[in-house]
C-alpha cells in the first residue's frame, strides 16, 4: 500500500502552481544560456523565479501580516524576472517567442499575487 504524501494548504493556491510552471520554464530556457553566464544571469534568473515559489510557501506558515510581506517579496521577484527576461533577449540568449511567453507568465503571476494580497486582507 502506497502512503499518501501530506499536502500543505499553499500547494492548492493556483498562483503557487503557476509559479512552479514558470520556474520549470525558466530552468528550460536558462539551461541553454552560454556557460559563461552560469554564475551570472543564469543563476540570477533561476534564483528570482525560485524566490516567487519559495516566498509563497514560506509566508503561508506565518501570520497574516507576515504572509502579506512574503507575497510582496514574491511580486518583486517576478519583476526581477521581467528584467532578466529583457537582458536575456537583448543578449540574444532567448527567442522573441520565449520573451513573450516569459513576460506573459510574469504578468499573470503578478496579477494573481496582487489578488492574493487583497484576499489576505
In a domain, 5, yes or no: no
In a domain, 34, yes or no: yes
CATH number for the domain spanning 116: value is: 1.20.1440.60
pLDDT at 4: 79
Q: With 70 as the cut, is the pLDDT of residue 1 above it?
A: no
Q: Give tens-digit pLDDT for 57-72.
A: 999 999 999 999 999 9
- Per the structure, the complete domain to which residue 109 belongs is given by 12-120
Please give the Cα distance from 107 to 48 (Å, whole number): 15
Q: Give tens-digit pLDDT for 2-57.
A: 777 899 999 999 999 999 999 999 999 999 999 999 999 999 999 999 999 999 99
In a domain, 6, yes or no: no
104 contact partners, CB below 8 Å, separation of at least 6: none
SS3 content of the chain, % helix, strand, coil (to 5): 80, 0, 20
Q: Which residue has the cell 551570472?
A: 40
More confident residue, 86 or 5: 86
Q: How many domains does the chain have?
A: 1
Amino acid at each position: 500500500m502506497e502512503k499518501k504524501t501530506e499536502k500543505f494548504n499553499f500547494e492548492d493556491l493556483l498562483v503557487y502552481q503557476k509559479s512552479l510552471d514558470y520556474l520549470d520554464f525558466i530552468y528550460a530556457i536558462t539551461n541553454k544560456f552560454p556557460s559563461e553566464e552560469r554564475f551570472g544571469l543564469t543563476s540570477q534568473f533561476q534564483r528570482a523565479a525560485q524566490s516567487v515559489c519559495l516566498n509563497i510557501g514560506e509566508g503561508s506558515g506565518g501570520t497574516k501580516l507576515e504572509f502579506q510581506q512574503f507575497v510582496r517579496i514574491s511580486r518583486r521577484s517576478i519583476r526581477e524576472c521581467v528584467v532578466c527576461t529583457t537582458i536575456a533577449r537583448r543578449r540574444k540568449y532567448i527567442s522573441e517567442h520565449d520573451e513573450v511567453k516569459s513576460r506573459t507568465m510574469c504578468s499573470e503571476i503578478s496579477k494573481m499575487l496582487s489578488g492574493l494580497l487583497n484576499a489576505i486582507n
